Amino acid sequence: MAISLLLLLLLIVPLSPTFSKPNATHAHTQHCLENEKTLLLELKNELVFNSSYSTRLVHWNQKEDCCSWEGVECDDAGHVIHLRLFDEGISGGLNESSSLFRLHYLEELSLAGNLFSGLLPHNITNLKRLSSLGLSYCNFSGAIPSTLGNLTQLVDLEMAYNFFSGSISSGHFEGFSKVEYIDLRYNSLSGSIPISIFSIPSLRWIYLQDNQLSGKVDEFAIVNISQLSILDLSSNRLESPIPNSFIKLQSLSYLYLSDNLFNDTFQMDKFLSLPNLVSLSLSNNNLSLFGSHSFAVNQSSLESLDLSNNLIAGEIPNWIWEIGNGALYDVNLSSNMLVGLQKPYQIPTSLRFLDLHSNHLRGEFPNLEGLSLSNNNFSVSGLLDLSDNMIAGEIPNWIWEIGNASLYFLNLSCNMLVGLQKPYHIPNSLQFLDLHSNQLQGEFPTLSLKHTTNVDFSNNQFDQFGILETGNETAVFGNSEFSLSNNSLSGSIPTFFCTAATFSTLDLSFNHLSGSIPRCLFENSVVLNLGGNNISGWIPHKISPSCQLMILDLSNNNLVGDVLDSMGNCRALWVLDLSNNKLSGTVPTSLCKALDLRSLDLSVNNLNGNIPRCVVGSHLVALNLGRNNITGRVPNFTAVCRLQSLDLNNNNLIGDVPQSLENCESLKVVNVGGNQLDGTFPCMLPSSLRVLVLHGNRFHGGLRCDKSWSNLQIFDIANNNFSGNVDPLNFSDWRTMMRDTVTKVSYEYLASKSAITDNFTLVGYIEKVSLIIKGMERNLVKIWPDFTSIDLSCNNFQGGIPDSLGELNALYLLNLSHNSFTGTIPKSLSNLTGLGALDLSVNQLTGKIPKEIAGLTFLQVMNVSHNKLVGEIPTGPQIQTFPGDCFEGNIGLCGLPLNISCIASPPNAKSDEKTEIEWDYVFAAAGYVVGFGSFLWVLIFRRSFRERYFEKIEDVYEKIVSLRKKKKRRVVGRRVVRNQARRH
Ligand SMILES: *[C@@H]1O[C@H](CO)[C@@H](O)[C@H](O)[C@H]1NC(C)=O
Ligand SMILES: *[C@@H]1O[C@H](CO)[C@@H](O)[C@H](O)[C@H]1NC(C)=O
């Protein structure tokens, strides 16, 4: 609703100021004054403008009479009184000395929609006769001239959509006595709102929304403004109770105070006494509602009421429905803590939009707690949103009839509904039907959704396509988006979907569908997701060149055969995910015809051959070919490289990591583990890197690079032939593994939040994934992006373990085993307070185990076996509970859990190598992070998947948690995550 209000506002604004235009516009009388003509020509000279864009300025001086120039009007005496230079392609600064400010007779000046730079000159106030000043969309910045109030004739002041900053003071408005319209919205003004603005008696419209105004709005001395009709202070940082003095504004029609920090109780009854109030928006504040039935609500003329996202609890008061005497059409009470409706109530027939989502409504239709709904007393004719409540039972069939079957939007998702009452008569008016995340069972309803464009039945328990069994009645789908994902549907994909009209999105993923894929689906859809089923056979042959697919996900099925050349006919592809099938053959070069390909995931198949060089195009963001039998070298990357994730793990690649990866400045994930790569450490990798996995290759040499990777969180170079000292890794710079930096990282992610919800774009999407999780739920923070590990095991590293490792206090896993580290175990490791697993086994470490290590309370796995450690094993809360194997092979070590008394000397050394930490198990978690590129699009494009993804992440989380022997997760937590995910 906030959006519709905004739209409304935008519509109103250009229309509303109907100012008495000053008399005298005689554009065509021949009487241009010579000195004013000179000024105009000087002005034209001064201004930098795009002459191919300009429609007025560019033609000046083609006629003798300057009063007939485009955008210029004069009065009878030949003085220029109107200057209209809006949208003229002007750029650059405007000078204090500009000749513009010597056109003293100007009454109207419009410069809106030009690209000025810098400050608005003070000398604008030389134009004392101005009654209308239009400076919106001008790109001005800095303070508003303090003398603006000298423009005593001003009626209309428009300075919206600039970058004006600083505070607005009383002085700014001091001389104003005729101003009717002030528009300063969408600037960066700060400080409090000067009371003087409310003492301009002529004011009718004030727009101050979307600034950074703050402070209290105390009881304003609002006495003089009897004409104020629109007041918009929304999206600022105002903090106080809503002052009751607003009700002195008897002409007020529109009051918008949403998106602030207004708090305390809000005395609704007082505001309803405003006789002209039409629209009231208080959403996104911290208000609780207060009001009573004692006032004459039905004398109010309110049409639209938005109290969403506040702290309103209890029952919806029955007087709400009596507001407006039949005019009320839009009520938004969503995201509060409402439990039901107070009786008696009669929902007015005028109501078109009713949004109660995300409250605590419970019960079953028709008797929600306190609310007895039926078609007789419940009439909403446009939008009904009851999602994210606790409504159980069946969806009643009268719901399709409410508002005389005129609903266009019905959302009952995220409740506990179990079925649909028959018969269904989905009204033709319905365009959006969202029932996802309920417990709907049985047959998918036999619906004839002629006009419904968005249907979401995902996350339910439907197990049959009922619609097919209806025989000859062919329902017509004209949907643009249709999802049945995450149900229990089985059998083959009904050809019904082929006879239906085109789908822009068809999502049947995560069911138990089998059989092969009807080729027609490739011709109908733009987004097709059949992932996570049991679909077998080949990918359809001969895909037509008219293929419009942008996103194709067939992952996690049993597809066999080649990735066919004809796949290249889908030239619009952005995302292709065929991972986790049984595909064979090579990566076809025809895929290169999809010039916009962002994400290619063919991982976990049986593909062989080389990686075609052309696949690595400049648009590619994620490439995942892991777990195949691909041979040859890693191809070179383009000079303009947008790659963020490169996963080629477990293939048979040879050669080195190409130098050209340095072009990929956004690269975050590199996983080339489990190949036969050689060469030295890839120092060229950009500093954006977060995940680097080189394990199980033939890399060799030292780690000497002249840079460091402060964003690294997973660093796995195990099982290679690296050698030398590890000091050059500069652990002190690995900020992401330090806890004090974690919050900072999360803020950076939040900064790009708007991009994800609004745009249908994949660029930069990996970051966004972490953003979603990060912004979502604190419990997930531990996994991603904060899951951290360092694995240097099974190399030939020598020298001491650097003290600086102890600075990485967010580190969870540290494995230095099977090297030749010497010296003592640094005490600083005891600063790794988040450490869950520490493996130092099979090295040459000497000395005692520092007693501080015993204080690491999160440590669940520790192995120091097969070193040259001596002395008593320190005692601590955990350390004695580890198996003795973890300490053996150290001739001089004694104490618990070893069965060697520190007094009795003869050592009883056994040699047993099977005490290693099960790193594979632990890395299942990391692997999930590393391999995440493939289903990223899912997160972006389909809400229901996002929820699923979070569940998976939680599974991984549980693995780690169980490693920590803390099984505290509750089912409730999961629901919270789902619900929160839904909102993003
Ligand atoms: C406006 O101009 C018209 C004709 O030019 C004249 O009759 C009228 O009196 C003027 N009004 C004012 C307020 O000057
Ligand atoms: C601004 O206007 C004043 C008054 O007309 C004038 O004296 C002054 O020179 C102007 N400033 C500049 C920088 O031209």
Q: Single out the residue of 337, 349, 339, 292 nearest to residue 319, CA to CA.
A: 292
Instruction: Choose between 50 and 503: higher pLDDT.
Output: 50
Q: What pLDDT was estimated at residue 422?
A: 77
Counting from 1 in the atom list of ligand 2, the atom nearest the Cα of 102 is 5
3-state DSSP percent of the chain in helix, strand and coil, to 5: 25, 20, 55
Tokens describing residue 964 = 């920590």
* Angle ∠(87,153,148) on CA atoms, nearest 5: 70
- The answer to whether 244 and 268 have CB atoms below 8 angstroms apart is no
Res 262 pLDDT > 50: yes
- Give the separation between CA 60 and CA 228, rounded to whole angstroms: 40
- Please say if the pLDDT value at position 544 is more than 70: yes
The residue type of 6 is L
Which residue has the least CA distance to atom 5 on ligand 1? 24
Closest residue by Cα to atom 3, ligand 2, is 123
Least Cα distance to 924 among 886, 965, 951, 953 occurs for 953
Question: Rounded to an integer, what distance in angstroms lies between the CA atom of residue 560 and that of residue 135?
Answer: 64
Burial (CB < 10 A; 0-12, 13-18, 19+), residue 552, is: buried
User: Is the CB of 20 inside a 6 Å radius of any atom of ligand 1?
Assistant: no
pLDDT for 852 equals 86
Residue with tokens 């070298």: 633
The mean pLDDT value for 784-806 works out to: 83
Report pLDDT for 8: 37
Ligand 2 centroid, distance to 175 Cα (angstroms): 20
**Protein residue with least CA distance to atom 2, ligand 2:** 123
What Å distances lie between residue 935 and 480, 669, 954, CA to CA? 22, 15, 16
Confidence (pLDDT) at 801 = 93
Does 546 contact ligand 1 (Cβ within 6 A)? no
Query: Measured between alpha carbons, how far is residue 540 from residues 507, 543, 605, 802 in Å?
Result: 18, 7, 17, 57
- Lowest-confidence segment of 77-86, 369-378, 432-441 by average pLDDT: 369-378
Statement: residue 5 has pLDDT above 50: no
Distance between CA 395 and CA 232 in Å, rounded?
A: 40
Among 35-49, 275-289, 702-716, where is mean pLDDT lowest?
Answer: 702-716
Distance (angstroms) between ligand 2 centre and the Cα of 37 equals: 20
Residue 943, φ and ψ in degrees, nearest 5? -60, -45
- What number is the average pLDDT over the span 56-61? 90
- DSSP H or E segment with residue 577: strand 575-577
For ligand 1, atom 10, the nearest C-alpha belongs to 23
Burial class (CB in 10 A: 0-12, 13-18, 19+), 180: buried
Q: Which positions ≥6 away from 84 have C-beta within 8 Å?
A: 56, 71, 72, 108, 110
Cα 984 to Cα 978: distance, rounded to the nearest angstrom: 10
CA nearest neighbour of 547 among 507, 519, 577, 516: 519
Choose the weakest-confidence range: 22-36, 643-657, 899-913: 899-913
Least confident interval from 28-37, 156-165, 205-214, 298-307: 28-37
Res 494: pLDDT: 81
Dump the DSSP string for 388-411. SSEEEEEEPGGGGTHHHHT-SEEE
Report how far apart the first and last C-alpha atoms of the chain are (Å, whole number): 17
Query: Tokens representing 513?
Result: 């569908």
Give me ligand 1 centre to Cα 24, in Å. Answer: 7
Q: How far is the CA of 227 from the centre of ligand 2 (A)?
A: 37
The answer to whether the beta carbons of residues 863 and 916 sit under 8 Å apart is: yes
Give the HSE-up count for residue 969: Cα atoms under 13 Å, Cβ half-sphere.
Answer: 22
Distance CA 678, CA 694 (A): 10
Take residue 550 and report the two structure tokens written for it: 């942008």
- Rounded to the nearest angstrom, the distance between the alpha carbon of 123 and the centre of ligand 2 is 6
Residue 725 pLDDT > 80: yes
Q: What is the pLDDT of residues 388-405, one digit of tens each?
A: 999 988 888 888 887 777
Instruction: Work out which ligand 2 atom sits closest to the CA atom of 95.
Output: 13
**Which-ligand-closest: CA of 94?**
2
Phi, psi of 836 (to 5 degrees): -105, -25
pLDDT higher than 50, residue 730: yes
Above 90 in pLDDT, residue 42?
A: yes
Backbone angles phi, psi at 609, to 5 degrees: 80, -170
Is the predicted pLDDT of residue 1 greater than 50, yes or no? Answer: no
Cβ contacts of 438 within 8 Å, gap of 6 or more? 412, 413, 414, 415, 416, 417, 418, 459, 460
Residue 125 or 736, more confident: 125
More confident residue, 901 or 286: 286
Residue 548 scores a pLDDT above 70 = yes
> How far is CA 291 from its chain centroid?
37
Q: Cα–Cα distance between 735 and 740 in angstroms, integer?
A: 8
Cα of 35 vs centre of ligand 1, distance in Å, is: 26
Closest atom, ligand 2, to C-alpha of 97: 14
Q: Which one is predicted more confidently, 425 or 26?
A: 425
Sign of the C-alpha dihedral computed for residues 878, 884, 887 and 891 taken in this order = positive
Whether residue 103 is predicted with pLDDT greater than 90 in this model: the reply is yes
Top mean-pLDDT range of 71-80, 336-345, 503-512: 71-80
Query: Among 126-135, 460-469, 853-862, which range has the highest average pLDDT?
Result: 126-135
Å from CA of 99 to ligand 2 middle: 10
- Whose CA is closest to atom 10 on ligand 2? 97
| pLDDT tens profile 581-637 | 999 999 988 888 888 888 899 999 999 999 998 888 878 888 989 899 999 999 999
Per-residue confidence at 658, pLDDT binned at 50, 70, 90?
very high
Query: Ligand 2 center to residue 635 CA distance, Å?
Result: 65
CB atoms within 10 A of CB 971: 6
Q: What is the pTM of this model?
A: 0.72
pLDDT, mean of residues 506-516: 92
Please tell me which residue, 2 or 111, carries the higher pLDDT value: 111
Interval 918-967: pLDDT, tens = 443 333 333 333 333 333 333 333 333 334 333 444 444 444 334 333 32
Q: What percent of the chain has pLDDT over 90?
A: 36
Of 429-438, 504-513, 553-562, 704-713, the one with minimum mean pLDDT is 704-713
Atom of ligand 1 nearest to the CA of 23: 1
Handedness of CA 364, 365, 367, 371 (dihedral sign): positive
* Rounded Cα–Cα distance for residues 145 and 607 (Å): 68
pLDDT of residue 939: 34
Ligand 2 interacting residues, C-beta cut-off 6 A: 96-97, 123, 126
pLDDT at 740 over 80: no
H or E stretch at 482 = strand 481-483
Q: Is the CB of 23 under 6 A from ligand 1?
A: yes
pLDDT for residue 708: 82
Ligand 2 atom nearest the C-alpha of 98 is: 14
Lowest-pLDDT range of 39-43, 82-86, 655-659, 742-746: 742-746
Give residue-wise pLDDT tens across range 468-507.
333 333 444 445 778 889 999 998 888 777 765 566 788 8
pLDDT in tens, 838-848: 899 999 999 99
Q: Which ligand lies nearest to the CA atom of residue 23 in the structure? A: 1
One-letter amino acid at 358 equals S
Which residue's C-alpha comes closest to atom 9 of ligand 1? 23
Residue 498 CA to its chain's centroid (Å): 34
What pLDDT, on the 0 to 100 scale, is given for residue 797?
94
Per-residue b/e over 870-909, b at no fewer than 16 CB within 10 Å? eebbbebebbeebebbbbbbbebbbbbbbebeeeeeeeee
Do 639 and 616 contact (CB within 8 A), yes or no?
Answer: no
Mean pLDDT of the chain: 78
Q: Which ligand is nearest to the CA of 99?
A: 2
Give the whole-angstrom CA distance, residue 846 versus residue 195.
74
Q: Above 60 in pLDDT, residue 180?
A: yes
Confidence of residue 155 (pLDDT cuts 50, 70, 90): very high
Exposed/middle/buried for residue 267 (C-beta within 10 Å: 0-12, 13-18, 19+): middle
Q: For 331-373, what is each residue's pLDDT tens digit?
A: 999 999 998 777 666 777 788 899 999 999 888 876 665 555 5
Under 8 Å between Cβ of 257 and 242 = yes
Residue whose CA is closest, atom 12 of ligand 2? 97
Any atom of ligand 1 within 6 Å of the Cβ of 52: no
Residue at 688: amino acid letter? S
State the average pLDDT over residues 791-796.
92
3-state SS class at 462? strand
Asked if 222 and 242 count as a contact pair (C-beta separation under 8 A), the reply is no
Identify whether the C-beta of residue 718 lies closer than 8 Å to the C-beta of residue 793.
yes
